[in-house]
Amino acid sequence: MGVQPSPPHLTLPILILISSSLLLVASHDYHDALSKCILFFEGQRSGFLPQDQRQNWRANSGLGDGSTNGIDLTGGYYDAGDNVKFGFPMAFSTTLLAWSVIEFGDSMPSDDLRNTLVAIRWATDYLLKTVSQPNRIFVQVGDPIKDHNCWERPEDMDTDRTVYSVEAPKTASDVAGETAAAFAASSMAFRSSDPGYAETLLRSAIRIFEYADNYKGAYSDNEDVRPGVCPFYCDFDGYQDELLWGAAWLGRASQNQSYRNYIQYNGKTLGADDNINEFGWDNKHAGLNVLVSKEFLEGNVYSLESYKASADSFMCTLIPESSSSHIEYTPGGLIYRPGGSNMQHVTSIAFLLLVYANYLSRTSQTVNCGSISIGPTSLHQQAKKQVDYLLGDNPMSMSYMVGYGDKYPQRLHHRGSSLPSIKDHPEFIPCKDGSVYFNSSSSNPNIHVGAVVGGPGEDDIYEDDRADFRKSEPTTYINAPLVGVLAYFVANPN
């Protein structure tokens, strides 16, 4: 065939082809990131580790947890770079892992789905122990002041493993409500693979929610518990949101109408539309509004329409074209909230964007932002920008997930990762002897694969400084919603 000039109308498709293949080159390996994101939880494990433990720089720890109180409280997760088991954020991380499976489990490769269920169960097995006595909840193991004074591996830990619990008539609606949410959501995640376990979780959710609701109040108002939980995971935002959130999850998991009535009739008194622009371990409002919107959008429960209006108003703060006041972004485009551990906001908000987009697209609905309406595609794009920034498309040209990409954080604020592994250095390293490792400018010897750090400051700068825990510490609640986000992009990379 002779060379012929291309007809002019072909130029456009060729250009599109070129630019989309460039995009493909620049795109991320979401599957690799997903597998690593789940693997992170193995590095946070407390208790007796199984044969198939893959983060093999870790070993057994906290095997006596609960023994001072005559109860087995082994297992569960350390929340971050320390060795304390804080029940409030652990339950929240569990809810988000389970929600990731509920919404995006179908998009997960089978190994990743299986590993996510294992990660959930590591938490729920522990949380079941915390509610094993009637009208009582064990909310924390480990004296955080003494723990934080040491730079010690979890395997060497010799600080007080103080057990904190709350018993009726004292209140813990926040931790108990979140634990109910974690059980209810996890029961849905396990329903097809392990119906018996799912049933145990659902029954426990119903029971612990009754305690939360019958004795209304915050756990940190209790003077026995307050010194141990504040200022770390104090209930700053009130317990009301966890009651609505727990009821919403119970309604979805049990399909029992009485929980739907609960969120409808108590929405006003429990402040369903207060402080709606946040979603994290303390403030559940934006997540609650997205979750309950499904009942209105897909279940046609018109009495819950106000939750959709609140979810819309949250989404509008994220959409540049909308006229509502906006969430803050760094110059490089990352969602930014002051207060440290910023990546927790990035991952939880990206998760809500994707969940809400799915609810909207299945019902052909849009977000109502006053004079404009926003479709699900725009929400997907916002979420993608955030996750791509996290994985490396940012002014530092680095990934904020350890072990992903070529350049990633080397000096995590994390005791187990920064001290020599007990496998290489079996000798005990006492509390203050850890300081030389804490102060060292070397990279951490144990690569905590999948850990996502708090991330850069509002100027997009990341110094990779171990002492700067606001930026360099990973947490379970950064990674938990990221599991769902990455699963979505594995199935929908473009």
Contact positions vs ligand NAG (CB under 6 A): 151, 206, 256, 258, 435, 438-439
Per-residue CA distances from 216 to 137, 241, 267, 268 (Å): 14, 12, 15, 16
Between CA 425 and CA 63 the distance in angstroms is 20
* Closer of 381 and 439 to ligand NAG (Cβ): 439
In the bound state with ligand NAG, the residue whose beta carbon lies nearer, of 148 and 226, is 148
Q: Smallest distance, Å, CB 150 to ligand NAG? A: 8
CB nearer ligand NAG, residue 19 or residue 435 = 435
- What SS3 class is residue 401? strand
Phi, psi of 49 (to 5 degrees): -85, 145
Q: Does 413 qualify as catalytic in the annotation?
A: yes
Q: Are 311 and 289 in contact (CB under 8 A)?
A: yes
The CB-of-147 to ligand NAG minimum distance in angstroms stands at 13
Q: 3-state class of 31 per DSSP?
A: helix
DSSP one-letter string for 167-198: ETTS--HHHHHHHHHHHHHHHHHHTTT-HHHH
The yes-or-no answer on residue 155 being catalytic is no
Token digits for 115?
């590993």
**Which of 24/467 has CB closer to ligand NAG?**
467
- Shortest separation between residue 158's beta carbon and ligand NAG, angstroms: 16
Q: How near is the Cβ of 332 to ligand NAG at its closest, in Å?
A: 32
The reply to whether 473 belongs to the active site is: yes
Our CB check for ligand NAG shows the closer of 275 and 435 to be 435
Distances (CA, A) of 99 to 32, 262, 365: 21, 21, 22
User: In this structure, are residues 234 and 225 in contact, taking their beta carbons and an 8 Å threshold?
Assistant: no
Residue 137: strand pairing partners: 166
Tokens linked to 288: 């609650």
User: Any idea what the Cα angle at residue 249 is, between residues 339 and 379, rounded to 5°?
Assistant: 55
Kindly tell me which of 461 and 467 has the beta carbon lying closer to ligand NAG: 467
Of the residues 285, 345, 413, 448, only one is catalytic, namely 413
Residue type, 62: G
395 contacts: CB under 8 Å, gap ≥ 6: 331, 332, 460, 461
Catalytic pick among 112, 178, 235, 464: 464
Structural element, H or E, at residue 203: helix 195-214
**What is d(CA 122, CA 110) in angstroms, rounded to the nearest whole number?**
19
> Which C-beta is closer to ligand NAG: that of 67 or that of 442?
442
Min dist. Cβ of residue 230 to ligand NAG (A): 23
- CB 256, min distance to ligand NAG, A: 4
Question: Residue 28 or residue 466: which is nearer to ligand NAG going by CB?
Answer: 466
Nearest distance in Å: CB 209, ligand NAG? 8
Relative orientation angle of helices 195-214 and 240-254, to the nearest 10 degrees: 150
Q: What angle do CA 221, 91, 381 make, to 5 degrees?
A: 115
* Closest CB 182 distance from ligand NAG, rounded Å: 18
Burial degree of 258 (CB within 10 A; 0-12, 13-18, 19+) = exposed
**What order of strands is seen across the sheet that includes strand 85-86?**
85-86, 136-141, 163-167
Residues designated catalytic: 413, 464, 473
